[in-house]
Chains A and B, each alone.
Chain A
């Protein structure tokens, strides 16, 4: 094929995140939903089989699950919440596991889509975290006390309260869930786009553009996409960690107010 006849390259964009229903027109089940279902099964199966025949000297699978649990317990729950943290470890472990599975699906062959790049999934998880930390705070400090401690922190001159109270309120009630959602969604969205661009661009250069320039630039692009895939894996785990850590911080903050 000569270069002049080659089809034009369409750079990947938001349209690449729209999927048709898997089972044909009129059904609702799309690829992101499939990734969610598979991710849920994977996380469930991992912990089920790890705990089913738990022994004092753990096998490989049990050791992996225990390390995962221990990491969330010690590095997230205890760090951000303190001694009361153990109560919230089950939720945090589930959240972290679910997020890792749905993020890492972006670099798993065949799936190759981080389900968390669809805003509905981070939004739902942020809503659950939002309900939990507000509920915990209201139960600990009372409804009035929770909002009073939130909006009128001690150690601040009274004259500044009109300036700070709306800021504190909106930052806790609106911006916390919003930033949780957007940070995760667009990290996954942008990462997926970059991978699509380097892989599809490299493929196009080699198979369609051809010539010395096409082969050289295409090879570089494809090699770079391999490096980026590992980098994406790191980002995906980091973002799952950040989401979980912030949830723990919000719970910790709701449990204690500064004296």
Chain B
């Protein structure tokens, strides 16, 4: 990696913080939404909770993969 490329990455890092929050919101919304649909279908509430937790976990993992390793 050239010095210029490295500089690009470093400066982009702090800007990425803004995007990470959106990723977490979408994780909760997507899998929480799926969990809610399953719960409606099976007539219980456990899957909403599961979906929300899985979504949050998946989103946090993605944030870590995208921005945490460097």
The residues of A with any CB-CB pair to B shorter than 8 Å are 78-80, 82-83, 153, 155-156, 160, 163-164, 166-168, 170-171, 174-176, 179, 242, 245-246, 248-250, 252-253, 258
Contacts and interface: CB of A to CB of B under 8 A. Distances in A.
A167 B59 contact: yes
B18 A258 contact: no
B8 A82 contact: yes
Given A155-B65, A155-B69, A167-B59, 13 more contacts: A156-B65, A160-B61, A164-B62, A167-B23, A167-B27, A167-B58, A168-B62, A171-B22, A171-B26, A175-B22, A176-B22, A179-B22, A242-B18
Contacts of A160: 58, 61
- B interface majority secondary structure: helix
A79 B22 contact: no
Interface residues of B, number: 26
B31 to A, nearest CB: 7
A179 B61 contact: no
A167 B8 contact: no
Given A167-B30, A171-B26, A253-B19, A80 B58 contact: no
A166 B22 CA distance: 15
A153 B66 contact: yes
B50 interface: no
A104 to B, nearest CB: 21
A175 B26 contact: yes
B53 interface: no
A79 B26 contact: no
Contact of A258 (B4, B11, B66): B66
Contacts of A79: 11-12, 14-15
Contacts of B55: 167
Contacts of B19: 246, 249-250, 253
